[in-house]
Amino acid sequence: MAATSETIRQVQDIGERYKFGFVTDIESEMAPKGLNEDIVRFISAKKGDPDWLLEWRLKAFRLWQTMPEPEWAKVEFPEIDYQDAYYYSAPKMKDRPKSLDEVDPELLRTYEKLGIPLKEQEMLAGVAVDAVFDSVSVATTFKKKLEEVGVIFCSITEAIAEHPELVRKYLGSVVPYSDNKHATLNSAVFTDGSFVYVPKGVRCPMELSTYFRINAENTGQFERTLIIADEGSYVSYLEGCTAPMRDENQLHAAVVELVALDDAEIKYSTVQNWYPGDENGVGGIYNFVTKRGACRGRNSKISWTQVETGSAITWKYPSCVLQGDNSVGEFYSIAITNNRQQADTGTKMIHIGKNTRSRIISKGISAGKADQTYRGLVRMSNRASGARNYTQCDSLLIGDECGAHTVPYIESKNAAAQVEHEATTSRISEDQLFYCRQRGIDPEAAVALVVNGFCREVLQQLPMEFAVEAQKLVGISLEGSVG
C-alpha cells in the first residue's frame, strides 16, 4: 500500500540515525516499540515537520524524561511502561474486520440501541469501508462551504504544512510543552489532530466535527487539536461520538488548545465513549487529556461541554484562562463511571481580566465499583475585579460499592470578585424509582430516566444531534447497575 512504501522510504532516508535494528521491523508499518529521541525524529520526519517543530518536539521529549509521573489524581493503575508501546503506526488495513459479521455482537447491540445507521456502524467498528462511503461526499460538500467563508479546517499535519505561520504562532501558546507529563509526551510525539481557524467576523456556518474530516478515520493516540477563533468569529466544534470506538491503543494523551480573540466564541463539545474495560476492569483506555482554552480577547467566550462515559481511566480538566476583560468561560460536564471505571475530571477557571465570568456545572454519576472525582480550581487574580464564578457539582451514587468525591480549590484574591460553590452527593431516591416502577417502567429504564433528569442542565448544552444520542448513552452506560 502507498502508506507502507512511504514509511519505508522515509525510514531509509533517515535510516542511518537508527541504531536499534529497526529497519527490519518496518514491514509491520510501525516504528519499533519504545520511545527515544530517534523515534521522535522519525515521527517528525514522517510528518514532514519543519525544523522548528522538530526542535520543539525534542525539547519536549528531553523534558518529559525528567518529569515525574503526576500522582495527585485519585486514580489507581499499574505504572505505565512507556517503552512497551508503539508511538507511530501507519493506518492499518489488514486486520480490520471485513464486514459487520466479524464485529463483536455486544458492540453491535449498543449501536442498535443508539440508533446508528448501518453505514456509520461499519465505520465506527473499523470495518474497512470503500471510498464510496456516504459521509465522504457529505464531507466534500462541507469542505467547499467552509472554504467559501474562509474557515480553515484540516488535520494538524496539513496545517503545519500549509499554514505554518498560524500554527507556529499558536501551537503551545495555551498548553506549553512543559505543562504536565502527559501534555509534554503529546508535544513530543503527536501525530494527528485537527486544526481550525475561523477568520475575523465569520460565523462558522456549521458544526465542525472530527467525524466529518475525511482523513480522521484513524484518530491518533496522541491527538493535538488547535482551534483559533479570530476577532468576532464563532465556531462550534464536536469531538468524538456517542458510539463506542474501536481502538487498540491503551494510552491516550491528547492536547486541545483553544484561542478566542476579541468578541470571539468557541463552543467545544465532547462525547467520549472509549472502551472502558470489562466488568473486572481489564483492558480499557487510559484517557489522559489536557484541554485548555484561552479567552485572550475582550468579550470572548469559551464553552466546554463534555459527556464522559468511556475509558477505564479519565484524567481530564478542560480549563479556561480568562485573560480578556468581560470574557466568559463555561464548563458543563456529565461523567458516568460504572463497573471499575475511574474518572478524575473537572475544570480550572483562571480569572485574570476584569468582569470575567465563569460557570461550572458538573454532574457525576458513579455506579458499580467505580470511583469518580470532581477536581476543580477557580482562581480570582487580584486584577479580576467584578469577576464572578458559579459552580454547581452534583454527584449521584448508584450502588453501595462505588465512590464519589469532590475536591474543589477556590482561591480568591480580589474583594470585588464573587465565588460561589455548591456541591451535593446523594443517591437516586427510592421514591423516584418507585414512582416509575408503579407506572410500569422497568428498573433500568427508570434509572436512565432519573439520571437523564439529573443531567438535564448539561444535556441541554449539547448540540441537538449530539444531545439525543447522549441521552440514550446515559442509559446504556448504566446498564447492569441496578437490580
Partner 1 sequence: MSETSQQSLGTEAFAAQFQARRETLPGSGLGWLGALREAGIAALAERGLPTPRVEDWKYTNLRPLETLALTAARPDAPAPSLDLVPSLLATTDHPRLVFLNGFLRPDLSRLADLPEGVELAGLADLIAKQPDWLQSELSDDGKFETTALTALNTALMEDGAVLRIARGAVVERPIELVFLGAAEAQPLSIQPRNLIALGEASQATVIEVHAGLGEGVTVSNSVSDVHLAPGARLTHVKLQDESHRSYHLASLRARLERDSTYEGFGLSLGAALSRNEARVRLEGSGGHCLLGGGYLMRDKQHCDNTTVIEHLAPHTSCREVFKGALDDKARGVFQGKIVVHRDAQHIDGHQLSKALLLSDDAEMDAKPELEIYADDVKCSHGATAGEIDHDALFYLRCRGIPEAKARSLLIQAFLAEAVEEAAPEALREALNARIIAWLAAKPQGAN
Q: Which residues bind partner 1 (CB under 8 A)?
A: 72, 380, 382, 385, 395, 397-427
Least CB distance to partner 1 at residue 394 (A): 9
Would you say 33 or 359 has its CB closer to partner 1?
A: 359
Would you say 200 or 421 has its CB closer to partner 1?
A: 421
Would you say 322 or 419 has its CB closer to partner 1?
A: 419
Rounded to 5°, angle at Cα 170 from 165 and 175: 150
Would you say 108 or 482 has its CB closer to partner 1?
A: 482
Least CB distance to partner 1 at residue 408 (A): 6
Least CB distance to partner 1 at residue 400 (A): 5
Least CB distance to partner 1 at residue 74 (A): 8
Would you say 33 or 427 has its CB closer to partner 1?
A: 427
Least CB distance to partner 1 at residue 392 (A): 10
Would you say 377 or 468 has its CB closer to partner 1?
A: 377
Would you say 44 or 366 has its CB closer to partner 1?
A: 366
Least CB distance to partner 1 at residue 379 (A): 9
Least CB distance to partner 1 at residue 332 (A): 20
Would you say 99 or 424 has its CB closer to partner 1?
A: 424
Least CB distance to partner 1 at residue 325 (A): 17
Closest C-alpha to 394, from 364, 372, 370, 420: 364
> Which distant-in-sequence residues (6+ apart) come within 8 Å of 70 by Cβ?
180, 181, 182
Would you say 95 or 430 has its CB closer to partner 1?
A: 430
Least CB distance to partner 1 at residue 191 (A): 33
